[in-house]
Chains A and B, each alone.
With several copies, the nearest count.
Chain A
Amino acid sequence: MQYEIIIAGFGGQGVLSAGRLLVYAGMLEGKHVSWLPSYGPEMRGGTANCHVIISDEEVGSPILNFADIAICMNLPSFDKFETFVRDDGFILCDTSMVSSEKISETKRKVYGIDATTKAIELGNKAFANIFIIGKLLQITKILRPESIEKALYDVLPEKKHYLIPIEMEALKMGLSN
């Protein structure tokens, strides 16, 4: 099995760390993984995205031209990556940022979660990415929540570990949404 995922959104929405979390957890589960961020001046007030591969076999090119899953955290990403998804793939989007009108227009299968709104409710819009990951895990079972938790401990600097319980709560909310 090989999952090719693109995660895209605004600079501040944590799309790169969402990707990092996924590949880290994937590695913990013994899978072959690669992660490739978009980089550069887009970072300044623009959009960011990363290509993630989680696979049972060795990874060929880390660069995706198509994806099984596109996680779109905002409207421009939705517009840009909608056609990036294979016919049998799906889009997962933050419905706080992408209107249902838009969603209804695409031919692709779309899952949604109002991640940013929920995150703001939880006190920080930066939690949006973890909601999305929860939702992803719910849909695909690609990784175990425990792996994500372990990955969080490994990836986050010590001084941010206190946030992990809240993040896991968000994850679970995503998982059960």
Chain B
Amino acid sequence: MLRAVFREERCKGCGLCVVACPVHIIENNQSKLNEKGYFASGIVEPEKCIACGMCVEACPDLVIEIKEVK
């Protein structure tokens, strides 16, 4: 299945993917900092992902790839 995969260590928590997602499954977790000191975003309901790539377009930090996940 094609799905958005977040490389969390690249994320700067800007939140642009959150608003870009047409199915509203991306969230920015305001409680845990990644190693760069940012609150990273991620998909909360992966199974709902339609792999549209909108988040890829929106993300300024190349955090997200759309790829086959088993």
A-side interface residues toward B, CB under 8 Å?
A: 9-10, 12-13, 45, 74-75, 96-97, 116, 120
Contact = CB atoms under 8 A, between A and B. Distances in A.
Interface residues of B, number: 7
A120 B31 contact: yes
A74 B33 CA distance: 11
Contact of A12 (B30, B31, B35, B37): B37
Contacts of A96: 33
A45 B33 contact: no
A75 B12 contact: no
Interface in B1-59: 12, 30-31, 33, 35-37
B69 to A, nearest CB: 28
A116 B33 contact: yes
Contacts of B37: 9-10, 12-13, 74, 97
Contact of A45 (B30, B31, B36): B36
Nearest to B12: A45
A12 B14 CA distance: 14
Contacts of B12: 45
Q: Please list the 3 inter-chain residue pairs (A to B) with the smallest Cβ-Cβ separation, ordered nearest first.
A: A10-B37, A74-B37, A45-B12
Question: Secondary structure of the A side of the interface?
Answer: mixed
Nearest to A73: B37
A97 B33 contact: yes
Contacts of B35: 75
Given A10-B37, A74-B37, 13 more contacts: A9-B37, A10-B36, A12-B37, A13-B37, A45-B12, A45-B36, A75-B35, A96-B33, A97-B33, A97-B37, A116-B33, A120-B30, A120-B31
A97 B36 CA distance: 10
A96 B35 CA distance: 11
A10 B37 CA distance: 7
15 contacts: A9-B37, A10-B36, A10-B37, A12-B37, A13-B37, A45-B12, A45-B36, A74-B37, A75-B35, A96-B33, A97-B33, A97-B37, A116-B33, A120-B30, A120-B31
Contacts of A116: 33
A9 B31 CA distance: 18
Nearest to A13: B37
Contacts of A45: 12, 36
A62 B36 CA distance: 29
